[in-house]
């Protein structure tokens, strides 16, 4: 399996499919919104985009299974090889006309992410990485920020839209980071947050209540760009574990704030 060639093919597919998403935005009607759960929105654009991606990826690598947000979703353990797809990461932004959303595609092999592509449609920016091959933005190498301390860092996060039981812990993290960093940003698309962390626009990112298709591609891109990714317990269950911390050299300081306020025991 030539991961470099595969990444190139997947990047091309993401760009082609992104054109459909871009054009559909100009005629999108909120009347087409569906609700999968509390504040969990989906549109015909998500569904049609996923169909295009599944068809394209099935041609690129027919033997791979599919783990997709709007379709059949199975645990990675059921697949020796599987695509993990988010057709429109940032659906709520898309529906409201906020120009921050992306296509996210990852390939998992034997429980390890080996390829990741995040295509931010509005800025025509394709972030990509393959295991051991480095990270790229529009085919040019990228690296995480050189920030060494929390005090010189800009941090991205996301707000939960369901499961609010740990809200007070989360607010404690926000309060501390507001005082100890350059600031916090909430874009509403985890794949974009991770891609921006990989290229140094953000110095770190954290969130909980995440799904694998939100983060699978972006976490590999951060790691291949020289960054660190862990779950809130300090472990490696950040793709299916629903929570993660990502960052550059200041990662230990960011992790300490989150772990302490989250009131958990580190692995």
Neighbours of 72 (CB within 10 A): 9
What is the DSSP-derived secondary structure letter of residue 40?
E
CB-CB contact of 80 with 123 (8 Å): no
The neighbouring-strand residues paired with 101 are none
What CA–CA distances, in Å, run from 92 to 52, 151, 159, 164, 254?
Answer: 20, 31, 13, 19, 28
Q: Is 69 annotated among the ligand-binding residues?
A: yes
Residue whose pair of structure tokens reads 């549109």 in the numeric block? 43
Q: Is 214 annotated among the ligand-binding residues?
A: yes
CB-CB contact of 202 with 248 (8 Å): no
Listing from the earlier edge strand, what are the strands of the sheet with 243-247?
Answer: 183-185, 154-157, 204-208, 243-247, 228-230
Q: Is 51 annotated among the ligand-binding residues?
A: no
Neighbours of 111 (CB within 10 A): 14
What CA–CA distances, in Å, run from 219 to 156, 206, 230?
Answer: 14, 11, 9
Q: Could you give the CA distance from residue 215 to residue 238 in angstroms, rounded to a whole number?
A: 8
Helix ranges (H only) for 158-250 are: 167-180, 190-198, 212-224
Q: Is 231 annotated among the ligand-binding residues?
A: no
Biggest CA-to-CA distance, the chain? 50
Q: What are the backbone dihedrals phi and psi of residue 125, each rounded to the nearest 5 degrees, phi first?
A: -115, 120
The two structure tokens encoding residue 233: 């317990």
What is the DSSP-derived secondary structure letter of residue 263?
T
Known binding-site residue numbers: 69, 86, 89, 214
Known binding-site residue numbers for Mg(2+): 69, 86, 89, 214
């Amino acid at each position: 399996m030539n991961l470099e060639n595969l990444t190139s093919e997947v990047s091309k597919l993401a760009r082609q499919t992104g054109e459909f998403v871009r054009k559909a935005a100009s005629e999108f009607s909120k009347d087409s919104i569906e609700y999968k759960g509390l504040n969990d929105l989906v549109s015909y654009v998500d569904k049609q985009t996923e169909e295009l991606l599944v068809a394209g990826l099935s041609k690129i690598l027919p033997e791979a299974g599919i783990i997709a947000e709007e379709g059949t979703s199975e645990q990675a353990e059921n697949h020796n090889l599987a695509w993990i797809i988010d057709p429109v990461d940032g659906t709520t932004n898309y529906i409201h006309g906020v120009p921050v959303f992306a296509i996210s595609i990852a390939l998992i092999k034997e429980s390890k992410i080996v390829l990741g592509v995040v295509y931010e449609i509005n800025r025509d920016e394709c972030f990509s990485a393959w295991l051991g091959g480095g990270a790229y933005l529009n085919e040019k190498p990228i690296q995480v920020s050189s920030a060494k301390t929390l005090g010189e860092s800009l941090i991205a996060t996301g707000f939960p839209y369901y499961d609010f039981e740990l809200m007070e812990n989360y607010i404690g993290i926000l309060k501390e980071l507001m005082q100890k960093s350059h600031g916090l940003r909430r874009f509403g698309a985890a794949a974009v947050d991770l891609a921006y962390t990989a290229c140094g626009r953000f110095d770190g990112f954290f969130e909980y209540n995440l799904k694998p298709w939100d983060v699978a591609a972006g976490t590999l891109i951060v790691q291949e760009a020289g960054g660190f990714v862990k779950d809130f317990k300090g472990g490696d269950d950040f793709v299916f574990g629903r929570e993660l911390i990502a960052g550059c050299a200041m990662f230990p300081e960011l992790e300490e704030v989150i772990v302490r306020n989250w009131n958990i025991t580190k692995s």
